[in-house]
Amino acid sequence: MDDILFARLQMAFSLGFHIIFASIGIAMPVLMVFAERLWMTTGDRDYYELTKAWAKGTAILIAIGAASGTVLSFELGLLFPTFMRHAGPVISMPFSMEGFAFFAEAIFLGIYLYAWNRISPRLHLLSGVLVAVAGALSAVFVVTANAWMNHPIGFDLDENGNFVNVDPVAAVFNPYAVHEIVHMLVAAYMATGILVAAIHAFILLRHPQSALHRKAFGLAMAMVIPMTIIQPLVGDFAARQVARFQPLKFAAMEGQIRTQTHAPLRFGGFPDYETGETHGAIEIPGMLSFLGFGSASAEVRGLEEWPREDWPHPLTHYGFQLMVLCGVLLLLHTLWATFHWLFRGRRLPDSRAFLWATVFAGPLGMIAIEAGWTVTEVGRQPWVIYDILRIKESATPMPGMIVPFIVTLVVYLGLSAAVILVMHRQIRIAPGLPPTDVQREIAR
């Protein structure tokens, strides 16, 4: 039993690590390409320096994403071989298409990073665009495969539990995939954008006059603002899809233990799974029924409808609350910027208060992504393939799984520290600033 727990923790940790770099790999090329395009159209040297700086960061972070993604593709089998034994053929299509997206991303990233002087500016920009497109497509394919785990279609089960009549094409056109894909992509642009904005805001606090960092900050916010505004709408759609396809996960997310009509929307709160009450939540009466099923009087099925052993871990509830909290804070930050832009002469706020707010908002997007994936993945359990195959039936028979788990933990923690160190040094030598000790050191 403990072996299974360690296998799950290892998967959770590997995915939680990879998703940050994958998200940055999706969104960073977009910023990089916009900066390059602005350089080409305006001839402003700052945008050239910015493109170069952002491209370097992208190169480092995508490489980590590629390596940790490889680990995941092996871990599917290393940790849950029985799952892959059944799922592999059904989700063969998104995974094989993902291979090509990955190829395109790697090829054009190589060209983008190293062929500045070897190809025409237009072809160079185009290769950057292709990196961004391929990154988004990778996300589409991988998330489609995940959607299948939550809403498995495209096969039949025979009396022995074998998968028969496998139809990979039906599995790829999965109604559950749409909201997952859009929610994830918007989240990636949002979280990466706010992280980049926070870094440049931090530099601006120390060097308020830096024109380059003002431009960088503006570009990042130009990505953050529209994404943060549409994300609540996408999230609402996502919640309705979950309510429709996975009512159990919906109940777990919302801390809805009892079945009731006029179910309230809860912010925060601690569900007591023994008594069936959720304590300490701010409640809007009838709102959950309305958001989930379109009518304030609609019945929301609570956890009590399902056997206790099938209930997802309470983390599903807390993860959801954390994600929503981060989203609300980011939305407030974006509204601040938007109103300033609308009513203060089409300019972003550059007060110290707003810059500090941006610095503190920086990690919130990534925290929301981690929390949201916890909701999706933990909320699916105890199933690995929803309602079909349980985690405990799919895990590797290998004993001593604590060893690979600890190795994974140590390696990824070390790698995280190294990435932070390297990125910190990159930021210290950011262009557009007076030379630092490090730069003088290099110049010597």
Residues that bind another protein (CB under 8 A): 56, 59-60, 62-64, 66-71, 73-74, 76-78, 81-82, 84-89, 91-93, 95-100, 102-104, 106-111, 113-115, 118-119, 166-169, 396-398, 404, 407, 411, 415, 418-419, 422, 425-426, 429, 438, 441-442
When the beta carbons of 314 and 404 are compared against another protein, the nearer one is 404
| Cβ-count burial 170-208 (b if 16+ within 10 Å, e if not) | ebbebebbbbbbbbbbbbbbbbbbbbbbbbbbbbbeeee
CA 30 – CA 272 distance, rounded (Å) = 45
DSSP state of 311: P
Neighbours of 281 (CB within 10 A): 18
For the CB of residue 98, give the shortest distance to another protein in the complex, in Å.
7
For the CB of residue 113, give the shortest distance to another protein in the complex, in Å.
7
- Classify 272 as helix, strand or coil: strand
When the beta carbons of 111 and 219 are compared against another protein, the nearer one is 111
For the CB of residue 360, give the shortest distance to another protein in the complex, in Å.
27
Q: How far is CA 13 from CA 181, 374, 406, in A?
A: 21, 11, 11
Neighbours of 50 (CB within 10 A): 27
When the beta carbons of 45 and 85 are compared against another protein, the nearer one is 85
When the beta carbons of 156 and 272 are compared against another protein, the nearer one is 156
CA 371 – CA 26 distance, rounded (Å) = 19
For the CB of residue 61, give the shortest distance to another protein in the complex, in Å.
9
For the CB of residue 358, give the shortest distance to another protein in the complex, in Å.
25
Neighbours of 442 (CB within 10 A): 10
Kindly give the residue spans of alpha helices, DSSP state H, lying in 255-293: 287-293
Residue 345 CB burial class (10 angstroms; 0-12, 13-18, ≥19): exposed
Residue 326 is encoded by which pair of tokens? 């981060």
For the CB of residue 399, give the shortest distance to another protein in the complex, in Å.
8
For the CB of residue 291, give the shortest distance to another protein in the complex, in Å.
38
- State the Cα angle at 184 between 150 and 49, rounded to 5°: 155
When the beta carbons of 282 and 411 are compared against another protein, the nearer one is 411
When the beta carbons of 310 and 393 are compared against another protein, the nearer one is 393
The residue length of the chain stands at 444
When the beta carbons of 40 and 119 are compared against another protein, the nearer one is 119
For the CB of residue 84, give the shortest distance to another protein in the complex, in Å.
5
The full DSSP string for 8-28 is HHHHHHHHHHHHHHHHHHHHH
For the CB of residue 201, give the shortest distance to another protein in the complex, in Å.
22
* φ/ψ (deg, to 5) at 285: -60, 140
Q: Is it true that the peptide bond before 382 is cis, omega within 30 degrees of 0?
A: yes
When the beta carbons of 367 and 415 are compared against another protein, the nearer one is 415
When the beta carbons of 313 and 392 are compared against another protein, the nearer one is 392
